Every structure is written in C-alpha cells, then in structure tokens.
Amino acid sequence: MENMKPDSKVMLRMTNIRKSFTGCEVLKGIDIEVKKGELLAIIGPSGSGKSTLLRCINMLETIDDGSIAIEGEYLAKEGAYVSGDKARKLLGRTGMVFQQFNLFPHMTVMENLLEAPMQVKEMKREEVLPLAKELLSKVGLSDRENYYPSQLSGGQQQRVAIARALAMKPDIMLFDEPTSALDPELTGEVLKTMRELAAERMTMVVVTHEMAFAREAASKVIFMADGNIVEQGSPNEFFDHPKEERTKAFLRNML
Amino acid sequence: MENLVHTVVLMLEGTRVTLEIFFITLLLALPIGLLASLGRLSKFRPLSLFMEFYIWIMRGTPLMLQLLFVYFALPMIGVMLPDIAAALLAFTLNYAAYFAEIFRSGIQSIPKGQYEAAKTLGMTYPMTMRRIILPQVIRIVLPPVSNETINLVKDTSLIYILAMNDLLRVARTIVQREFDMTPFVVAAVFYLAMTFVLTWLFKKLEAYYGKYET
C-alpha cells in the first residue's frame, strides 16, 4: 500500500474560484487541491456547478475571481489569466474527456489520436505512431484503428477519446461525466479504463454520478451543491460517515 | 441537316461563354463566400454587421438588377469595366452572398463540443477551422451548394441583356433570324447536359465526403 500514497507534489490548486452566468453565481468561492497521482471525484446534484468547476480548469469557462495553479504555475491569479502563450502551455498539461466524447467524426480512430500531436506538437507521423498504437491497445481497441467513430459503440468511442487525450501526454486528466451518455452495460468498460489509468498513478479529476466508482477508485471525494463544497473527505469517511445533512440526503437518493 | 450542324457549332461557341462565366464565378464566389461567412460569424461587430448588410443587399435585389447596375450605372460614376468583367463582378458578388449563408449555417451546425475538444487538445482557432470544422462543413453544405451551382448554370443566361453571346443569346439570335425553334430545343439539351454532369459530380463528392457516416 505504501506506493499507493500520493506524492506530496501539488498538481492542481484552485483557490476562491468564483463564477457567475448572467447574474447567477454558480461557483461561490471554491478551493480544491489535487496532488500527484490522486484521483479527485467531484459529485453532486446537477446544477451544483461541478462541471463548470472542471471546465474552469482548462479555460472552457473563464473564472470571475480566484486563482488556478497547475504544477505551481499560475494559469489565473486573482481572476486575471496569464497571457495566451503561457496559458496554452499550461493547458497542454491537462487532457479532457467529455460526456459526449466529441471525437472528430471525419477522422478514423487512428487519425483522431494522431491529429493533435502532429498538428500542435508538429511531430511526424512515425514519431507518434508507436505511442498511438500503445494507447489503443491499452484501451483495448487495437483492432479498431481504421474505424470511423460512427462505427463504434459509445463505450468504444469514449475509450478512444481517453486515448486521444493521453496522446498529448498530459499530467492531469479531467473527466466531465464520462459515462453519463452511455448505456449502463457500456459504462463498465470506460470505468475499467479509468481505473487502470488511476492504477498507473495518473492525476485525475473526475466529475461523476458513478458512486461505486468514486467510492472504490477515488483518493478524495468532494460533494458540491449550489456552487459550494458541502463536504469532502476520503471515500470511506465520505460514503460511510457523511457529516452534513445535505450529503446524507444526496447519498440516500443515489445509493 | 447542314443547317443544324451550323446551328450547333454556333451554339457551342455560346456555350463556351456560358461555361466561362460559370467556372470563373464559381471559382471566385466559393472562397469569397467562405470568407464572408467567417466575417458574418466574427465577434467583431462592425465586420459581422457589414457582411450582414452585404448579404441582405445581394439576396434582397434581383440578380438582373445587379447586372444592369454594374453594366450601366458604374460607368456613370467613372468605373468602366469590360463586358465580361462586369458580368463576373455581379455574378460573383451575388453568388458569394448565397454561398456565405450556406457556409454560415453549415459552420453553425457543427456541435460546440468539436471546438472544445480541439481547444483542450491545444489546437489554435485557424488550425481547428482548417482541420476539424471545415472538413465537416463541406459534407453538410454539399447539397445546398450543389443546388446553387445548378442555379448558376441557368442564371448565366441573364447576361443576354449585356449583349454577350452566351448560349441563350446565340439560340435566340438564330431563332429570330431563321424563324426556326430548333435552337431553343438544342439550348435546352445543352443546359440539361451541363446540369447532368454537375449533378453526377456532386453525387460523387457527397459520397466521398460522407464516407465517415454509417
């Protein structure tokens, strides 16, 4: 168990994050910290701001106030973002997996994986190919490299999406309800891939409704409601001994 | 019989003018239309308003009027254009406006998630447009572009008012001279042949760009 303990290196720190959409405050001063190798699970009812919080990490949404630091370097400090180039460099350390997969439909599985390394990092096809093949075999889709996304099941598409994000060699992987758009029998294969990733000590932030997954795979669980963190703790504390009434009510409904 | 051969030869010459207008207009209007659609979608308000205005004028007035304006009104303010250039200017500006609207709706139909995925992979906006968005837009806009292109073949006949000897004008001239309706029939066959080739070509293109759909 010793090697399962996270390093002390802080990979992601968000402090006092505030965000409003047309007058409605959806994040009311959130603080989170994720250490290297940790899997942070963010759960909560819909509309609690958990997806917005995740999307603030990689600038799909912009914060109104607060600071974001990735591996100790500021992406945003007290509400102000660093310049474009610096921001792009920092964002390159994160990878994102979406609820709707968002694979590029006009490209084959392999082309989806090669696209960003070849275009953004300007690597040659031969340079990326070994990594891409390795990632596809890791997610169990080596035999599908020439398929188009529309020819794959939702679960397979999501595994390709994970491989595509990993092809950019991110330090932190962000998952925005990765199994919410999947049939129940397909969520298992995606969660298995995520568990394997966690076992390799990838730093992960996962917004999810899968309580069983959060309980067993997370190093820390955060429960959000109405733009606030209501409760956080280790999966055991959180699921077995929730302190807040709001948490207890939520868990009663979910389990 | 000899007469018919002569008619056809004359009309082939007219067809050359028609095709010239057609191809040059298409070649200019497609890229200009694409740029206009990007301008129309720009977050820079003056640019998008200007494009909206341009599209409104071009779609809101008859192409015939635009041709007459370029041909007769521009010289009055000192802009003299050769016949063919005047025709091409009017056709290009008009068709670019229609293409701009087609491209705009195509671009807007691409889900936001595609932009987000590209962004999280570190792709810049131009890279995203070129590699991710436009290849998908092509597939979506092919049917309406095909429609407009076929319209253009027929709209080229409007230049008969500019005293240019396109297919229709040649046909009409022969009909008036010989009191024989055959040239009209021949003209119809020529137009049909051109639109047939275009229909076939666009069908091929749709199959090619749609190969990722099941």
Q: Which of A24-28, A229-233, B157-161 comes out lowest in average pLDDT?
A: B157-161
CA A249 remoteness from chain centre: 26
Burial bucket for residue B112 (CB in 10 Å: 0-12, 13-18, 19+) = exposed
3-state percent helix, strand, coil for chain A, nearest multiple of 5 = 40, 25, 35
Tally of CB atoms within 10 A around A191? 21
Looking at the complex, report in whole angstroms how far the Cα of residue B44 sits from the nearest Cα belonging to chain A: 19
Contact yes or no for B213 and A98 at CB 8 A = no
Statement: residue A192 has pLDDT above 60? yes
Where residue B75 falls among pLDDT bands split at 50, 70, 90?
confident
**E strands present in chain B:** none
Whole-number Å distance between alpha carbons of A157 and A152 = 6
Of the candidates B60, B55, B57, the residue with the CA atom closest to the CA atom of residue B29: B55
Strands A80-81 and A39-43: unpaired
Reported as half-sphere exposure (CB side, CA atoms, 13 A), residue B55 has a value of 25
Backbone angles phi, psi at A20, to 5 degrees: -125, 145
Statement: residue B29 has pLDDT above 70? yes
Locate the chain A residue with the closest alpha carbon to B134: A106
Q: Give the DSSP H or E segment for B132.
A: none
Contact yes or no for B213 and A164 at CB 8 A = no
Looking at the complex, report in whole angstroms how far the Cα of residue A34 sits from the nearest Cα belonging to chain B: 19
Whole-number Å distance between alpha carbons of A191 and A188 = 5
Statement: residue A72 has pLDDT above 80? yes
Contact yes or no for A150 and B212 at CB 8 A = yes
Q: Give the DSSP H or E segment for B100.
A: helix B83-108
Tally of CB atoms within 10 A around B54? 17
Strands A203-207 and A172-176: parallel
pTM, rounded to two decimals? 0.85
Locate the chain B residue with the closest alpha carbon to A118: B123
Looking at the complex, report in whole angstroms how far the Cα of residue B135 sits from the nearest Cα belonging to chain A: 7
Residues on chain B touching A150 (C-beta within 8 angstroms): 212-214
Tally of CB atoms within 10 A around B208? 11
Under DSSP, is residue A1 helix (H, G, I), strand (E, B) or coil? coil
Under DSSP, is residue B151 helix (H, G, I), strand (E, B) or coil? helix
Q: What is the dihedral of CA A222, A225, A229, A233, to 10 degrees?
A: -30
Where residue A46 falls among pLDDT bands split at 50, 70, 90?
confident
The b/e string for A21-39 (b: 16+ C-beta within 10 A; e otherwise) is eeeeebbeebebebbbbbb
Whole-number Å distance between alpha carbons of B110 and A204 = 29
3-state percent helix, strand, coil for chain B, nearest multiple of 5 = 85, 0, 15
Strands A80-81 and A73-77: antiparallel
CA A26 remoteness from chain centre: 19
Locate the chain B residue with the closest alpha carbon to A88: B122
The two three-digit tokens of residue B176, written as one number: 């008036």
The pLDDT of A93-101, averaged and rounded, is: 95
Contact yes or no for A120 and B131 at CB 8 A = no
Statement: residue A18 has pLDDT above 80? yes
Looking at the complex, report in whole angstroms how far the Cα of residue B33 sits from the nearest Cα belonging to chain A: 23
Whole-number Å distance between alpha carbons of B140 and B111 = 13
Of the candidates A122, A99, A227, A236, the residue with the CA atom closest to the CA atom of residue A175: A99
The answer to whether A34 and A10 are in contact (CB under 8 A) is yes
Domains of chain B by start residue, with CATH = 2-210 (1.10.3720.10)
**Would you tell me which residues 70-89 of chain A have a C-beta closer than 8 angstroms to some C-beta of chain B?**
88
The answer to whether A9 and A73 are in contact (CB under 8 A) is no
Question: According to the model, what pLDDT value does residue A121 have?
Answer: 92
pLDDT in tens, A130-143: 999 999 999 999 99
Whole-number Å distance between alpha carbons of B103 and B107 = 6
Contact yes or no for B120 and A96 at CB 8 A = yes
Residues on chain B touching A165 (C-beta within 8 angstroms): 120-121
Under DSSP, is residue A35 helix (H, G, I), strand (E, B) or coil? strand
Q: What percent of chain A has pLDDT over 90?
A: 80
Looking at the complex, report in whole angstroms how far the Cα of residue A16 sits from the nearest Cα belonging to chain B: 23
Question: According to the model, what pLDDT value does residue B179 have?
Answer: 85
pLDDT in tens, B181-214: 888 888 899 999 999 999 999 999 999 888 887 6
Residues 6+ apart with CB under 8 A from B91: B21, B25, B29, B63, B67, B152, B155, B156
Residues on chain B touching A116 (C-beta within 8 angstroms): 121-123
Statement: residue B1 has pLDDT above 70? no
Question: According to the model, what pLDDT value does residue B180 have?
Answer: 82
The two three-digit tokens of residue B107, written as one number: 């671009």
Question: According to the model, what pLDDT value does residue B79 have?
Answer: 81
Under DSSP, is residue B81 helix (H, G, I), strand (E, B) or coil? coil
Statement: residue A4 has pLDDT above 70? no
Q: What is the DSSP letter of A28?
A: E
CB contact, 8 Å: B134 with chain A? Answer: no
Whole-number Å distance between alpha carbons of A22 and A147 = 42
Residue in B114, B122, B214 closest to A116 by CB: B122
The pLDDT of A104-124, averaged and rounded, is: 95
pLDDT in tens, B163-173: 788 888 888 88
Looking at the complex, report in whole angstroms how far the Cα of residue A201 sits from the nearest Cα belonging to chain B: 21
Question: According to the model, what pLDDT value does residue A211 have?
Answer: 92
Angle at B114 between CA B109 and CA B116, to 5 degrees: 125
Residue in A120, A149, A150 closest to B121 by CB: A120
Interchain CB contacts (distance < 8 Å): A and B: 65
Higher-confidence residue of A84 and A134: namely: A134
